[in-house]
Amino acid sequence: MECTGKLSGLAIDYVSGRQKIEIETNEDIRQEYDRLKDREKVSIKIVEYRKKRSLDANSYMWVLLEKIRQKLHNASTKEEIYMRMLETYGDCVYLPAQTKKEIGDLIAVFRIVRDKGQRILMTESGNLVNVHIMQCYKGSSLYNTKEMSLLIDGVVRECKELGIETETPDEIERMKQEWGINIEKA
């Protein structure tokens, strides 16, 4: 069961030390509650709500990437420009990889993986291990609204620098409202 809502209370049983949380839901969850209420144990995960980005955000970015490609007189493919934008404006994580299989696993999961060199790390048990530090970027299809906003802002800045026209102020405002993000106007 997944739903949205608001935390509305927390109570503590001072005898057992157990906590009870109260949640107001936006959706009707009675059926799922009835199905799960007698279970001895359920998994619970509460995270801050983030609006999912619309597919229009991704489409708009690819239109801009094509405009950049044309302005560069086909010097690069859209895919190459996209990868450059991910590296310039996307978030990355640094992960250690000890074996070729681990490096291969990272390459299978992330859009861009760069080997930043070898380092010696100490394990929790105190052993020293030689690892490769891998810089990993996920693809924009996995971005949340905030991450997509930063990427599109960067692509729009690139368009500005190249003198490429972007959407009208009214259209950008409509997109900002729909996506819940801020986009700069070229």
pLDDT of 47 reads: 83
pLDDT of 107 reads: 94
Task: Check if the beta carbon of residue 57 is closer than 8 Å to that of residue 174.
Answer: no
pLDDT of 116 reads: 96
pLDDT of 84 reads: 95
pLDDT of 182 reads: 52
In whole angstroms, what is the distance from residue 169 CA to residue 186 CA? 9
In whole angstroms, what is the distance from residue 177 CA to residue 133 CA? 39
Strand partners, 11: 20
Task: Check if the beta carbon of residue 22 is closer than 8 Å to that of residue 40.
Answer: no
Asked, for residue 168, whether it belongs to a domain, the answer is yes
Identify the domain containing residue 153 by its residue range.
Answer: 55-179
pLDDT of 51 reads: 63
Asked, for residue 185, whether it belongs to a domain, the answer is no
Asked, for residue 171, whether it belongs to a domain, the answer is yes
Asked, for residue 184, whether it belongs to a domain, the answer is no
Residues of the chain with pLDDT under 70: 50-55, 168-170, 172-173, 175-186
pLDDT of 176 reads: 59
In whole angstroms, what is the distance from residue 175 CA to residue 158 CA? 19
